[in-house]
Chains A and B, each alone.
Chain A
């Protein structure tokens, strides 16, 4: 089921949370809403679910306007950040909840309900935990119960609010690969909220990067990384060096200053040079990579290069050494505007 969001405005009292969101999500897609805390991504998710109602704008599922439809009628699976499991009910009853509260005509028969819940518990690999209470489960297990509970009502849209936020790093990695596999099997249109760019990149087909109530860029991970639409997107997707540069006419048609080149640490090189402007400040061995920081008198922030261990071996850089700076790839911005080659 496709989702169309048009011109959504939302404010908590006088504090605007969303300022004009337009977003189209294709059927079967797995989309990430990525942004720093307070950017409005959770509010947008809740508006899609019908848990909040926008002051302006429309929400449509498969072209059908659902803006004024309640969460109960929208038929959307929602997984809450802190799971929101029913603590007084067993794992089995949590998953069965959505089936039991149906009107009796639509309620599955006893055997059918048993079979359905069992199948779902097997799907999330919790078949042996049916009679446990949520309090007796680990964080990752609770998250999977929450997922099975949301899937029990066979929603055509699945919304997940920071689904891995409360888990430790190892479990998080396992669970998100598992979730990607699950999505590839059941193809339910899914939207998840995260502030972790690595998570968004690993899971999502497309990513909407949000900032201060707006979508800064909507693209697939590769495009997002190689052609960021704004300095914000560039900075948010990981560490980046910002170098003020002067452009020659062959770039933009005429010479100009006030342009910044954004260079990722792995695209930056330090080359030993007698009269180089920068000086190596520290060399840190991080295991698979080596992190080199250098200072240039004209820049306030240190320059960072991260090299693979093998490549670093030969270059023989040490603290105090004078070096020249070489960039292999960069993105240019003039203020908020991207600068492209003329």
Chain B
């Protein structure tokens, strides 16, 4: 009886065949046109003059500097946002305080603000004519048109990813395990490492992967603060733009293909982690 029931109800909910097929066709056409075709084009242009040209573009001195800078920026911004994200999620889900709603909205601010504006804010703050510019110049600290500015802008833009992923997860899990750990004599530190981190582990990794993808691909905010100094302050996306503007199409697409490869890798990782998370959620005791 119960085995037949879902089938029956799905028959009742079923749309006419022509509607299903046309919806499917529209969706597939859309994906092909806007996602698959550009991806193929990236690799097509990258390899249009053969493997040697591609390799030459990638191992070029300036390209290598751009890759190094991109990785360096991600290596600073992602750990920072991981720590911030965990702390913010902890604060929001474990304590009640005045202005909590405001804090949650503020965490989302980088999603709402255009990255270009984010970059401009930092120029206005730390640039030569900015509020802190003269003081920074006096102390010989360079932020705008230098690596610190790029790190700042990237950190700002990628701030929400980890917190956004953890807040709903930690809300759903509740804090009784942590309280149990405390009554058993655990310190805050050992509670975090032994109880909280294993609980949120996969969710945290998911957030970190997304954060990292965005940190590597960020263009707008970084473009404003970088100054496009070749071999010094060009990240991979900026380097691609420079090459393209100089009509070095193949070289531009060769570097772009690296970014595209990284994006594909991110997708695979994201799928694996998401699958693990669902499996853990499924085996979790119901009570």
Contacts and interface: CB of A to CB of B under 8 A. Distances in A.
Contacts, number: 78
Nearest to B96: A13
B187 A72 contact: yes
Interface in A48-93: 49-51, 70-72, 74-78, 80, 82-88
A150 B181 CA distance: 10
Contacts of A74: 183
Nearest to B198: A88
Interface band, chain B: 20 to 34
Given A86-B195, A87-B285, A97-B194, A153 B184 contact: yes
Given A87-B284, A142-B285, A72 B179 contact: no
Interface residues of A, number: 33
Given A87-B284, A135-B283, A139-B287, A98 B185 contact: yes
Nearest to B175: A84
B186 interface: yes
A84 B184 CA distance: 12
A77 to B, nearest CB: 7
State the main secondary structure of chain B at its contact with A: helix
Contacts of A83: 285, 287
B184 A101 contact: yes
B199 interface: yes
A51 B183 contact: yes
Contacts of A82: 176, 287
B72 interface: no
B180 interface: yes
Contact of A77 (B179, B183, B190, B285): B183
A171 interface: no
* Chain A to chain B: the 6 pairs with minimum beta-carbon distance, closest first: A84-B176, A98-B184, A101-B186, A84-B180, A88-B198, A78-B183
13 contacts: A50-B183, A51-B182, A51-B183, A71-B182, A71-B183, A80-B180, A86-B177, A86-B180, A87-B177, A87-B285, A101-B185, A135-B284, A149-B180
